[in-house]
């Protein structure tokens, strides 16, 4: 094609049950001038073969096969081969509504935007066929640099600034800044942070297109992450650095950062009481005590204003700095998380 408007990039690894639907949702897009760069990241199942079969039928698809190196470097590899005016990133186990690319492209072109941010759906499955949907949405808006920075807390609060796939990115802007996905666990967030750090023109759409599928058996939420707490501490540092760089310190933004930290602290504690964690009882207590005495806990507790009664109650043991009560509460969360996906997802969404 002479006029490639969007380069759709998708890393693929162990998603043979889902990748066909993902590919078909892109091929069904109303915007036709795209290229679809798929990187088979050494997948041991039939994912790569399925992608090849689609590529044989549609010349817009290019499949790259390589040894396993992780999603970040897979995306970066595709970015180095991209020819479109905009980047769009897709995950191989999700899917998109048919007007997504066209609507995002038109918004970007109309507003000369470097970044388009849209709403999305979280489809949480609690059986093979049954699921509950949660909507992540913010009102339509067109921001310059100053107004975006002042209003970014609203987008963070709705989880719209963490993931790469509810966004369209100006390739010229991203490449001029030398932005690529860092080779790290949970690479999405630092990539987006790099994009928004100095972005000048942002469009937000209240429309939803992307279906993020949660609660698959192989989901990362079902396993114990040994370094989760350290990772969350690192992320909090990134947030503080971002807002210092922006020169934004209003009450609403600071409250969001504090509440975000405390909510993720609860998740880190639950990670330790998760049944898949093999630490001994004394090791778990030691780890939780370390978390409760972290340097950011007290300042964030002072600033955070929990949105629900449930979260206010959950924070009582943390405020008391009581390891036993915190651990007991966390075990209840772990139990709900492992035994009732629907209830856990609902409570999490309403926290």
Which CATH number is 15's domain given? 3.90.550.10
pLDDT at 172 over 60: yes
| 196 and 295 share one domain | no
Q: Classify residue 264 as exposed, middle or buried by CB count within 10 Å of its CB (0-12, 13-18, 19+).
A: middle
| 169 and 289 share one domain | no
194: containing domain: 6-214
In a domain, 284, yes or no: yes
| 148 and 259 share one domain | no
Neighbours of 68 (CB within 10 A): 13
pLDDT of residue 219: 46
| 257 and 286 share one domain | yes
pLDDT at 220 over 50: no
- Tokens for 273? 């009481």
* Mean pLDDT, residues 204-223: 76
108-117, 124-133, 214-223: segment of lowest average pLDDT: 214-223
H-type helices in the chain, by residue range?
19-27, 47-55, 71-81, 100-111, 145-157, 171-176, 188-197, 228-246, 251-273, 281-292, 297-303, 309-314, 316-319, 323-339, 341-349
| 144 and 227 share one domain | no
Our separate counts of H helices and E strands in the chain read 15, 10
% of the chain surpassing 70 pLDDT: 93
% of the chain surpassing 90 pLDDT: 81
| 233 and 148 share one domain | no
Final residue in a domain of this structure, among 152, 180, 214: 214
* Mean pLDDT, residues 42-64: 97
What is the C-alpha to C-alpha distance for residues 232 and 230, in angstroms, rounded to an integer? Answer: 5
pLDDT category at 348 given cuts 50, 70, 90 is: low
124 vs 162: which has the higher pLDDT: 162
Per-residue pLDDT tens digits for 305-323: 998 888 899 999 999 999 9
| Cα separation values, 89 from 122, 154, 349, Å | 17, 23, 24
pLDDT at 118 over 70: yes
pLDDT category at 339 given cuts 50, 70, 90 is: low
Final residue in a domain of this structure, among 214, 241, 263: 214
Element holding 203 (H helix, E strand): strand 202-214
Selection from 274, 339, 351, 260 nearest residue 314 by Cα: 351
What is the C-alpha to C-alpha distance for residues 65 and 328, in angstroms, rounded to an integer? Answer: 47
Q: Which residue has the tokens 């073969």?
A: 49
* Mean pLDDT, residues 116-145: 91
Final residue in a domain of this structure, among 165, 190, 214: 214
Q: At what angle do helices 228-246 and 251-273 cross, to 10 degrees?
A: 170
Q: At what angle do helices 251-273 and 323-339 cross, to 10 degrees?
A: 80
Are 227 and 139 in contact by the 8 Å Cβ rule? The answer is no
* Mean pLDDT, residues 53-64: 98
In a domain, 131, yes or no: yes
In a domain, 1, yes or no: no
Per-residue pLDDT tens digits for 132-170: 898 999 999 999 999 999 999 999 999 999 999 999 999
| 126 and 83 share one domain | yes
10 vs 3: which has the higher pLDDT: 10
| 268 and 202 share one domain | no
Element holding 136 (H helix, E strand): strand 131-136
Instruction: Report the domain count for the chain.
Output: 2
Read off the pTM.
Answer: 0.92
pLDDT of residue 2: 62
In a domain, 240, yes or no: yes
| 241 and 210 share one domain | no
| 143 and 230 share one domain | no
Per-residue pLDDT tens digits for 95-116: 999 999 999 999 999 999 999 9
Handedness of CA 71, 76, 82, 88 (dihedral sign): positive
pLDDT at 17 over 50: yes
Are 324 and 282 in contact by the 8 Å Cβ rule? The answer is no
| 13 and 94 share one domain | yes
| 3-state SS, residue 286 | helix
pLDDT of residue 254: 98
In a domain, 165, yes or no: yes
| 207 and 245 share one domain | no
What integer best gives the mean pLDDT of the chain? Answer: 92
Per-residue pLDDT tens digits for 254-298: 999 999 999 999 999 999 998 888 999 999 999 999 999 999 999
């Amino acid at each position: 094609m002479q006029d490639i408007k969007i380069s759709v990039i998708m890393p693929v690894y162990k998603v043979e049950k889902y990748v066909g639907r993902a590919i078909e949702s892109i091929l069904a897009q109303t915007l036709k001038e795209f290229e679809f760069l798929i990187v088979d990241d050494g997948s041991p199942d039939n994912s790569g073969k399925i992608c090849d079969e689609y590529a044989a039928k549609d010349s817009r698809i290019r499949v790259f096969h390589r040894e396993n190196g992780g999603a970040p470097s897979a995306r970066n590899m595709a970015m180095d081969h991209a020819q479109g005016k905009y980047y769009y990133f897709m995950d191989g186990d999700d899917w998109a509504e048919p007007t997504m690319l066209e609507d995002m492209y038109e918004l970007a072109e109309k507003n000369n935007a470097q970044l388009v941010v849209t709403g999305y759906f979280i489809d949480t499955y609690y059986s093979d066929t049954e699921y509950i949907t949660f909507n992540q949405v913010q009102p339509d808006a067109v921001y310059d640099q100053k107004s975006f920075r002042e209003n970014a807390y609203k987008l963070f609060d709705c989880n719209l600034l963490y993931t790469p796939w509810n966004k369209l990115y100006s390739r010229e802007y991203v490449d001029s800044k030398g932005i690529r996905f860092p080779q790290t666990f949970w690479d999405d967030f630092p990539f987006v942070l790099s994009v928004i750090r100095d972005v000048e023109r942002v469009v937000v759409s209240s429309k939803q297109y992307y279906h993020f599928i949660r609660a698959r058996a192989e989901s990362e939420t079902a396993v114990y992450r040994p370094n989760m707490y350290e990772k969350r501490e690192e992320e909090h540092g990134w947030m503080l650095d971002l807002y210092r760089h922006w020169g934004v310190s209003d009450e609403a933004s600071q409250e969001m950062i504090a509440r975000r930290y405390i909510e993720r602290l609860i998740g880190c504690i639950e990670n330790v009481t998760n049944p898949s964690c093999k630490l001994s009882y004394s090791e778990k207590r030691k780890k939780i005590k370390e978390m409760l005495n972290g340097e950011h806990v007290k300042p964030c507790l002072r600033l955070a204003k929990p949105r629900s009664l449930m979260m206010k109650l959950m924070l009582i043991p943390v405020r008391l700095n009581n390891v036993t009560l915190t651990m007991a509460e966390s075990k209840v969360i772990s139990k709900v998380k492992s035994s009732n996906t629907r209830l856990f997802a609902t409570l999490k969404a309403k926290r």
